[in-house]
Structure 1
């Protein structure tokens, strides 16, 4: 039997924020980053001699068909809770944002906060749903310490949105078996209230934080249109991107603002008339990788049960990070168990078409359209375009657009001409990769957020400084090595603290790129090839161009010459030309 200490007993439940004196000397649980959890679990599995098959090769089991439906719970971006005027809270002191109704205080009544409907409608429109003019709230009964009223208010029978659809393309990371794309149906989207947050403590004690109870959620319920684990993960990832792009939700999956439940079933493929298998539900998956891994594990478990003559039970199962198996939590509740009934204290929600049309007109550009523009306008790869749009909750792509605008001004009247395309591509590459390396852990101080904001600013690397670096690099006034050191100096705030501008650093430290002229490059290439006859011979009558040998010779050029005066790409061109025009003909003769 669990023993439970409720913080609420120490807190005065009022409409204004209150703080419990109990918490002042209570240490918060240590947060372990998701990436570290995954690495630690992988090490444990390796130590036990368990080696998992790579997911990319584990999408299909011969003779079996997998079917998956997903329920996604997402916290709406609102200032108030769903049925009380208490403010929403994510990282504030526990039990400091609690109203009477949140604790089911006798006599308190739910008061629907109309502004919570706006982000929910934006989410439904982004998922191509039909908005229902009339929707109603129901009570879903169950008893647990995280739900003080003994029921959750949701929209089971008459949700505010139905019949949506989301298109997944190959670039979204779907399984190769789905080809170029797949369309997944959205059965309905309903509004509902969140539960309290439970924090386990030593000694079989659980503390309850009622800040979260009553937070407004939407539950997105898909049709069982998914047949591959990677596609399921891609769907959740894309829905998160859409919710972020429409400003519907504040936090993503890893931050706890979005959770996924997956329903998994299998059936044999030898008889097309075979009905869908018995499904099980895996609750509260908190990462895209967990979605894929849990589906694979549960699929394999069900197949093993059926092949051994057993029967798959209708049940709710759990999943832990790094696991190789799902675990039983409880028998699966059905509609009769929850005793759904219309909530007698809440009136119907009436949504006028004028509001829906107004929100639809103001939606702006959704991620797919922005990705298409990046691919077409700047010739980025689909992978890079998708990464730009999804990283940092969409803030990084806003930063990219700011950098592009500043670069265009510096390029001048012909900024859209093809000669400047490589400059914009350089910007995309640096914003994706070089900025990421800044926080990859040179020191503890570096393992931090770059500080991207919604308006496309970056606290640690202001756009104007990055543009200076990229412009000089594009114009070949500095080399790549100097450019990367300048970026590091900006990140460490040496610019503008020690040096006012990028140009100041280049002048004072004499870092301008004084590139070798053509004759000097040729002389260096010939010097690098001395004594390398066996290497040069491989460029005679080759079946496949020996690129590795070419780069070996280029590396010798860079080591023998003044590195600060050499452009590796130009060195590669010159070396190739010297081989074709001088060195190879000399050996042939």
Structure 2
């Protein structure tokens, strides 16, 4: 069991060289942590791992402070300000998918961390948020004499991913060594499946609703060359003064690498493909987390050629490494495409190289020359036997995989008449758990409405989808809630800790029946979210009864009096209705309805009734009066 030390002792030992007067750190268990400095020279120091992330803030006496964390949103805003001040206007991506006279070709390699409890070749636990270097086996650190042992359970999520991507599963696959030297790979090579991967010949279909470029029409299919299993590298944490800390918790974590064919010709379609892959991997529970959490990374291979000769070979490609967001994929491809075109038009040649991309950049940057098969010295791994995959296992996984996102989106569009955008957002909400919650809310509403037919109360179910997508979002991103409060606690069976299914169903039922107003419904949702139901009130109905929040609508006579008051001094607006030609001035009507809402008791006004009465008063009273009738 790993020994844990108090941060104060570790800080004194690591930063000041002081040891406690009793006991000795030398006799305690510890793991190595590598610091790289001075042009790549390695300094190996043995230190307890919790010192890497001290729980107290460093001061001038105990070392330099870590660089301040800058949120992604602020980085993007700052870069936008710089662009504005420079006077350069960046062309919108939607209008920047094609360069006349040139053809872009893109292939993508997607690395996804598998959802497994163990690492690929050791029994160490996969860890993503624990203290650094607390889940490391001998083989992970390449300790002499340690051997890789393939963990069979890591194959299951990999197979699910391959089936979701319509791949052919290979009955026999093998592991190879890919040699390179870097501090994040202790053994000096990565174990992968270069020659005989476990899956080949897949295809992913993208539709217009997936966000592909307009130039690709209604849809496009992109081939998948192969999917291979491989081990992840250690995590490097950059510090001041050219120092790097290394966390070996991540080394050996199981990955799959999805390699597409070079069949993508527009940047937006490339970004849409990566997003679609992420949704599919989450849907089949194959991937730990998405791009936003670092569980999925993309490398893109970009080349250009002149479009006047389609039979000409593809241009020299460059690779852009480690893109960590969908926007970065699209922006980096556009920037590299434009760079290559500028080089070729000026008479230059494109070098085979690996390039990098930073958030908010307008240009890619050279990292190093591109390595090839010879550089990596691929060879079969002599310590690992081939993997033999039985057809019965593949068939079982295929039959139990469940409905994939495209089919579920189609069902939501057909059954509930949701827009493609809303249907896709609902299916992707919280790795698919949001749509399970939606179905539970629909079932609860059916019970309350006394009908099992979707068509009978379709607007009510559409209201549920709208609230889960939009009203929940307002709770989630509220600035006054801490991180813990933003977690709704969605579960795989479609429950929610912060807003239970029955509470939301009650709110929507009363709102749909016009028994409470929209404003009151949203206030009750906040009360539920903050735990006041059931802490202070037994139920949603109890909130309404106790606070007397039931909707008591104005009579038509009261609406008419309110409409007359709202029209006072607005003769010029009313005159627009008299002069209307082909298009009804709905905006002007809603302006007057808004005045009614402000002048009257909002808790007793139904906007639909207010609109109806205002329309009637204008047409039956005010227009005839203006005409002198």
**Fold equivalence (TM over 0.5):** yes
Distance across 2 between alignment mates of 1:195 and 1:334: 19
What's 1:54 paired with? 92
Q: How does 1:387-402 map to 2 (within 5 A)?
A: 387-402=425-440
Map of 1:578 onto structure 2: 617
Q: Distance in 1 between matches of 2:456 and 2:621?
A: 31
Unaligned runs of 5+ in 2: 1-38, 58-65
Q: In structure 1, the residue corresponding to 2:486 is in which secondary structure?
A: coil
Select 1:567's aligned residue among 606, 611, 614. 606
Residue in structure 2 matched with residue 16 of structure 1 by the alignment: none
SS of the residue corresponding to residue 457 of structure 2 reads helix
Per-residue deviation, 1:515: 0.8
Per the alignment, residue 513 of structure 2 pairs with 475
1:34/1:254 contact within 8 Å kept: no
Contact 1:4/1:205 (CA < 8 Å) preserved in 2? no
Q: Do the aligned partners of 1:305 and 1:312 also contact (CA within 8 Å) in 2?
A: yes
- The alignment status of 1:119 with 2:165, answered yes or no, reads no
Per-residue displacement from partner, 1:137-191 (whole Å, max 9, x unpaired)? Answer: 1111111111111110000011000000011001101111111110010000000
Which residue in the other structure is 2:25 paired with? none
1:165 to 181, 200, 203: 203
The residue number in structure 2 matching 1:275 is 313
CA–CA distance in 2 between the matches of 1:440 and 1:26?
29
Matched residue, 1:432: 469
Structure 2 Cα separation of the partners of residues 211 and 29 of structure 1: 23
State the Cα deviation string for residues 322-369 of structure 1 (Å, max 9, x = none): 111110000000111111111111111000100000000000011011
- Name the stretch that deviates more: 570-579 or 339-348: 570-579
CA distance in 1, matches of 2:328, 2:586: 40
State whether residues 52 and 132 of structure 2, in contact with CA within 8 Å, keep that contact through their aligned partners in structure 1. no
Moved more, 496-505 or 449-458: 449-458
Structure-to-structure mapping, 1:214-233, within 5 angstroms? 214-233=252-271
**1:513 to partner: Cα distance:** 0.5
Q: Which residue is 2:502 aligned to?
A: 464
Q: In 1, distance between residues paired with 2:567 and 2:53?
A: 72
CA contact (8 A) 2:52 2:245 kept: no
Tell me if 1:362 matches 2:400.
yes
Shift of 1:48: 4.1
Contact 1:6 1:208 in 2 (8 A): no
Q: 2:491 & 2:473 partners in 1: Cα distance?
A: 16
Is 1:545 the counterpart of 2:584 in the alignment? yes
The verdict on how the C-alpha distance between 1:43 and 1:397 changes in structure 2, with shifts beyond 3 A counting, is: farther
Q: Quick check: 197-206 or 378-387, which moved more?
A: 197-206
Question: Does the 8 Å CA contact 1:64/1:267 hold for their aligned counterparts?
Answer: yes
How far off its partner does 1:26 sit?
7.3
Give the secondary-structure state (helix, strand or coil) at the position aligned to 2:577.
Answer: coil
Q: CA 1:444/1:3 → structure 2, altered by over 3 Å: closer, same or farther? A: farther
Q: Secondary structure at the match of 2:221?
A: strand
How many Å separate the matches in 1 of 2:231 and 2:197?
14
RMSD: 1.8
Equivalent residue of 1:283, what SS?
strand
Whether the aligned pair in 2 keeps the contact of 1:102 and 1:210 (CA below 8 Å) is yes
Q: Which residue of 1 aligns with 2:131?
A: 93
Distance (Å, rounded) in 1 between the aligned partners of 2:67 and 2:539: 43
Q: 1:47 to 1:514 in 2, by over 3 A?
A: same
Quote the offset at 1:22 in angstroms. 6.2
With normalisation by structure 2, the TM-score equals 0.89
Distance 2:44 2:433 in 1: 39
Q: Which residue of 1 aligns with 2:527?
A: 489
Provide the C-alpha distance between the structure 2 equivalents of 1:564 and 1:419, rounded to a whole number of angstroms: 28
Count of matched residue positions in the alignment of Structure 1 and Structure 2 = 580
Alignment match, 1:443:
480
Contact 2:167–2:203 under 8 Å retained in 1: yes
Contact kept? 2:475, 2:486, Cα under 8 Å: no
Does the alignment pair 1:409 with 2:409? no
Q: Please say if 1:557 is aligned against 2:596.
A: yes
Corresponding position: 1:290 with 2:328: yes
Match of 1:204 in 2: 242
Map of 2:382 onto structure 1 = 344
Q: Deviations over 1:453-502 (max 9, x none)?
A: 22222222222211111111000000011111111122222222222222
SS of 1:167's equivalent in the other structure is: strand
Shift in alpha-carbon separation, 1:216–1:274, aligned structure 2, 3 A: same
Structure 2 CA distance, aligned partners of 1:484 and 1:64? 52
Matches of 1:514 and 1:524 in 2, distance apart?
16
Q: Secondary structure at the match of 2:396?
A: helix
Tell me how far apart the structure 2 counterparts of residues 574 and 366 of structure 1 sit (CA, whole Å): 47
Deviation track 1:427-478 (CA, whole Å, cap 9, x = no partner) reads 0001100110113334153773333222222222222211111111000000
1:144 is the counterpart of 2:182: yes
For residue 15 of structure 1, what is the aligned residue in structure 2? Answer: none
Distance 1:34 1:376 in 2: 37
3-state SS, counterpart of residue 354 of structure 2: strand
Contact kept, 8 Å, 1:479 with 1:567, in 2: the verdict is yes
Cα deviation, 1:482-530, whole Å, max 9, x if unaligned, reads 1111111222222222222221221121111001123332332233223
| Alpha-carbon distance change, 490 to 286 in structure 1, aligned in 2, over 3 angstroms | same
CA positional deviation for 1:400: 1.1
Tell me what 1:523 maps to.
Answer: 561
Distance change (3 Å), C-alpha of 1:84 and 1:436: same
> After superposition, where does 1:9-88 map in structure 2 within 5 Å?
9-10=46-47, 32-88=70-126
* Deviation sequence 1:521-580 (CA, Å, 0-9, x none): 233223322343322221234222111111111112112222111111221122223333
In 2, the alpha carbon distance for the partners of 1:36 and 1:450 equals 25
TM-score by length of 1: 0.95
| Residues 396-434 of structure 1, C-alpha deviations (whole Å, 9 max, x = no match) | 11211121111111111x241534111000000011001
- Give the Cα–Cα distance (whole angstroms) in 2 for the partners of residues 36 and 454 of structure 1: 33
Q: Is the Cα–Cα contact under 8 Å of residues 138 and 340 in structure 1 kept in the other structure?
A: yes
